[in-house]
Amino acid sequence: MKLNPLSNRVVIKFLEAEEKSVGGIILTAAAQEKPQIAEVISVGPGKIEDGVLVPMTVKVGDKVIASKYAGTAVKIDGAEYTILPEDDIYATVD
């Protein structure tokens, strides 16, 4: 199944949390911090403002920093995705 976001929405998948601390201590699932870096899976066509389509600035495959708790979490085919407005993406990561 494929998610096709509408308007200025973006589908992202957060990358896995670190399982070890900087000092090498293995962290339990409860102690792991929710990651902020995600991969863009799908993007909508953009937002219409004043009758003009404003294109999206991110594209599929981009690594981005997004708000930890923004958007709507969905689970499809066993994978967890987040659907959020492009405004909740703060930066791209090179």
pLDDT score at 73: 93
Query: Is the Cβ–Cβ distance between 41 and 83 less than 8 Å?
Result: no
Q: Is the pLDDT of residue 24 over 90?
A: no
Question: What is residue 34's predicted lDDT score, i.e. its pLDDT?
Answer: 58
Asked if residue 82 has pLDDT above 70, the reply is: yes
pTM as predicted:
0.79
Tens of pLDDT, residue by residue over 49-79, are: 999 999 999 999 999 999 888 899 999 999 9
3 state DSSP class of 25? coil
